[in-house]
């Protein structure tokens, strides 16, 4: 084996060992969290989960919902898949000079060479567009990210090193699949042929660029676990463990369980493993922030920032977590995640619908609120009135519960109690809700719905004065 092969093995193993070490730290952080995972085990319906990964990761369906940025990302992603085969081939070459994937057959190998050539240019164009977007267009949701600039530069250099390696190789071996890598052939003909290099010199320069490519790939590997590009590793698992049918209400708590001493998320380790995986999966694309009504009306909340800030809180507490000293872990609420941010959320979940990697922002906000309210009695003064009204008047407003059925005056709608007493049957209970019962505008909706039901011949009843607030608004406020 040539001496250079040993050097390559040492560099390769070193980079992979460092990568494995960084990933093991991330795994420790994920497994250190102990909150309950909401909405099932997340390992049910395996075929559906595999399908969603195929559609949304391999197929980039969610990413492509946003046109230009989606095409850019998909090109880079698919390009990397194709080009990784060439990277593996190059690695193999260092161990066994002359190694190629030609054993897959001339037709397949020619197609692979062509795809690699085309996708290298595609990725390069996508990187240029990404720079244009970040530096010239500067959409607000993207924000400024040095990390992104480093990654884009690295990606661009990776593609350029490949083109250089191939073009010089085509000088050394002019007939080597030259009909199948027309972009590299164009580069050779335009820029290298005038230099009139000997085949040996060109071959050596090609090897230098192959080594540059190795170093860039392995450097990228080491950089991934601590960069925003971590989503390369985590977006797939996060998509696999997503809510398959969308979120179903809030996480349940058992207030009667006397063994439970804390509710909600007070410390970062109160999150669940899925919550922590969410933090590592964020691509910082800003789609959630663009969709957020709180952010768009100048509230201090950004769902993108919440995820990034919770990750910062996690990293800040990393020494205590790694040392197994839970008593030294600080509260989630602090300099990064502040009270006013947590209380600005309208709980609409628009952020979750927009997120291409299925991050669940809202449940984290609910759980932090729950801890503030149930453990610290800490919430905006305005909420005190709402909490009291729900407890005393059974609606968020200071309305008498005796007036709950006033909207139905003169409509002769029977209550469920009357139906039961008379032995009659109805098909439906019309649950009116607090707004439909007390809010002047919504009372008109309730009355109109009664007309529709009657016209449709549907038998229904209401609860009348027996109806009470479901408690949903105060649960969303953490109570």
Binding region for ligand SF4 (CB under 6 A):
282-288, 291-294, 301, 303-304, 307, 345-351, 354-355, 357, 359, 361-362
| Cβ neighbour number for residue 454 with a 10 Å cutoff | 13
**Angle CA 45–36–225, to nearest 5:** 80
Closest by CA to 187, choosing from 214, 161, 219, 225, is 161
Question: Quick one: 203 or 293, whose CB is closer to ligand SF4?
Answer: 293
CB of 356 to ligand SF4, least distance (A): 6
Least distance CB 252 / ligand SF4 (angstroms): 19
In the complex with ligand SF4, the residue whose CB is nearer, 15 or 63, is 63
**b/e burial code for range 64-75 (CB count within 10 A of at least 16 → b):** eebeebbbbbbb
User: How many C-beta atoms lie closer than 10 Å to residue 340's C-beta?
Assistant: 10
Instruction: Report CA-CA distances (Å) from 155 to 78, 91, 151, 281, 398.
Output: 13, 18, 6, 20, 60
By C-beta, is 206 or 362 nearer to ligand SF4? Answer: 362
DSSP calls for 179-215: TT-HHHHHHIIIIIGGG---HHHHHHHHHHHHHHHHH
Return the number of the residue (219 or 300) whose C-beta is nearest ligand SF4. Answer: 300
Nearer to ligand SF4, 15 or 230 (CB): 230
Q: Give Cβ neighbours of residue 80 (< 8 Å, ≥ 6 apart).
A: 123
Least gap, CB of 368 to ligand SF4 (angstroms): 12
Cβ proximity to ligand SF4: between 83 and 291 the closer is 291
Residue 328 and residue 266 in contact, taking contact as beta carbons nearer than 8 Å:
no
User: Which residue from 177, 59, 57 is spatially nearest to 112, judged by alpha carbons?
Assistant: 177
Of the pair 172, 354, the CB lying nearest ligand SF4 is at 354
Tokens of 370: 């729950």
- For the bound state, the minimum distance from the C-beta of residue 50 to ligand SF4, rounded and expressed in Å, comes to 22
Between 159 and 359, CB nearer to ligand SF4: 359
Residue 306 dihedral angles phi and psi, to the nearest 5°? -60, -45
Report the nearest approach of ligand SF4 to the CB of residue 449 (Å). Answer: 27
Token pair 């073009």 is found at 167
Measure CA 404 to chain center: 43
Find residue 415's DSSP bridge partners.
462
| 448 neighbors 430 (Cβ within 8 angstroms) | no
Would you say 301 or 474 has its CB closer to ligand SF4? 301
Pick the closer one to ligand SF4 by CB: 180 or 366.
366
Is the separation of the CB atoms in 146 and 168 below 8 Å?
A: no
Closest CB 250 distance from ligand SF4, rounded Å = 12
Sign of CA dihedral 213, 216, 222, 226: negative
Taking the complex as a whole, the smallest distance from the CB of residue 59 to ligand SF4 amounts, in Å, to 17
Rg value, the chain, Cα: 30
Tokens of 429: 């209970």
CB of 345 to ligand SF4, least distance (A): 3
Q: Are 172 and 203 in contact (CB under 8 A)?
A: yes
Q: How far is the CB of 247 from ligand SF4 (least distance, A)?
A: 10
Which of residues 112 and 281 has its CB atom nearest to ligand SF4 in the complex?
Answer: 281
Distance CA 170, CA 160 (A): 15
Query: At closest approach, how far in Å is the CB of 306 from ligand SF4?
Result: 7
CB of 140 to ligand SF4, least distance (A): 12
Four-point Cα dihedral 159, 164, 166, 168, nearest 10: 180
Q: Rounded CA gap, 184 and 161, in Å?
A: 12
């Amino acid at each position: 084996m040539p001496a250079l092969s040993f050097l390559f093995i040492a560099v390769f193993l070193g980079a992979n060992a460092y990568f494995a070490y960084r990933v093991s730290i991330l795994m420790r952080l994920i497994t250190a969290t102990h909150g309950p995972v909401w909405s099932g085990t997340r390992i049910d319906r395996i075929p559906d989960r595999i399908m969603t990964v195929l559609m949304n990761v391999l197929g980039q369906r969610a990413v492509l919902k946003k046109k230009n940025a989606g095409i850019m990302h998909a090109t880079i992603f698919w390009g990397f898949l194709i080009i990784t085969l060439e990277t593996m081939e190059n690695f193999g070459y260092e161990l066994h000079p002359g190694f190629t994937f030609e054993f897959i057959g001339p037709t397949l190998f020619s197609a692979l060479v062509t795809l690699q050539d085309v996708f290298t240019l595609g990725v390069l164009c996508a990187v240029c567009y990404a720079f244009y977007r970040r530096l010239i267009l500067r959409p607000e949701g993207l924000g400024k990210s040095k990390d992104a600039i480093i990654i884009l530069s690295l990606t661009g250099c990776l593609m350029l090193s490949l083109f250089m390696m191939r073009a010089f190789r085509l000088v050394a071996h002019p007939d080597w699949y030259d009909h199948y890598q027309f972009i590299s052939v164009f580069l050779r003909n335009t820029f290298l042929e005038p230099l009139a290099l000997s085949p040996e010199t060109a071959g050596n320069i090609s090897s230098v660029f192959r080594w540059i490519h190795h170093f860039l790939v392995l450097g990228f590997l080491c950089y991934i676990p601590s960069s925003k590009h971590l989503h390369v590793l985590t977006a797939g698992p996060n998509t696999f463990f997503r809510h398959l049918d969308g979120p179903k209400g809030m996480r349940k708590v058992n207030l009667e369980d006397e063994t439970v001493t804390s509710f909600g998320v007070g410390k970062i380790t109160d999150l669940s493993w899925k919550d922590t995986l969410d933090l590592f999966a964020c691509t910082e694309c800003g789609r959630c922030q663009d969709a957020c009504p709180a952010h768009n009306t100048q509230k201090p909340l950004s769902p993108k920032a919440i995820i990034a800030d919770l990750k910062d809180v996690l990293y800040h507490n990393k020494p205590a977590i790694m040392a197994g000293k839970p008593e030294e872990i600080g509260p989630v609420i602090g300099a990064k995640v502040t009270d006013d941010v947590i209380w600005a959320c309208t709980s609409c979940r628009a952020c979750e619908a927009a997120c291409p990697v299925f991050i669940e922002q809202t449940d984290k906000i609910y759980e932090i609120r729950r801890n503030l309210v149930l453990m610290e009695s800490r919430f905006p003064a305005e909420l005190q009135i709402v909490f009291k009204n729900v407890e005393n008047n059974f609606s968020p407003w200071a309305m008498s519960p005796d007036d709950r059925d006033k909207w139905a005056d003169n409509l002769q709608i029977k209550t469920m109690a009357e139906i039961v007493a008379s032995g009659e049957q109805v098909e439906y209970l019309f649950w009116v809700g607090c707004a439909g019962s007390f809010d002047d505008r919504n009372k008109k909706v309730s009355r109109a719905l009664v007309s529709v039901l009657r016209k449709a011949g549907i038998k229904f009843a209401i609860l009348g004065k027996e109806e009470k607030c479901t408690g949903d608004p105060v649960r969303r406020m953490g109570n």
